[in-house]
Amino acid sequence: MNLARVLEEKYTDYLERQGCAWWVEIVTASPRCTYYFGPFMTKRQAQDARPGYVADLEEEGACGIAVCVSRCQPQELTIVGTPD
């Protein structure tokens, strides 16, 4: 692993501990779930990764997909049975 990658990972870990990392939140209607993907160092990185996550969920048959990129600290990465 090169030095730049190690430093980026350390900084992303720091942002995550501070609650300042960026996450991709995807809510699906069927199955009724909320997924969190991240953490990311910048909003741009999260936005760039978003299409890949959506494509993976579509390939798995998910429908009614809504995506949001935000700073948060999810306690769980997958929440099944998300309320209305």
What digits encode the pLDDT tens for the residues 12-44?
Answer: 888 888 888 999 999 999 999 999 999 999 999
User: What tens digit of pLDDT does each residue of 36-80 get?
Assistant: 999 999 999 999 999 999 999 999 999 999 999 999 999 999 999
Is the Cβ–Cβ distance between 38 and 78 less than 8 Å? no
The domain of 64 spans 3-80
Domain count of the chain?
Answer: 1
- C-alpha–C-alpha distance, residues 65 and 23, integer Å: 16
Is the Cβ–Cβ distance between 25 and 34 less than 8 Å? yes
Query: How far lies 44's CA from each of 22, 23, 24, 77, 79, in Å?
Result: 9, 11, 11, 20, 25
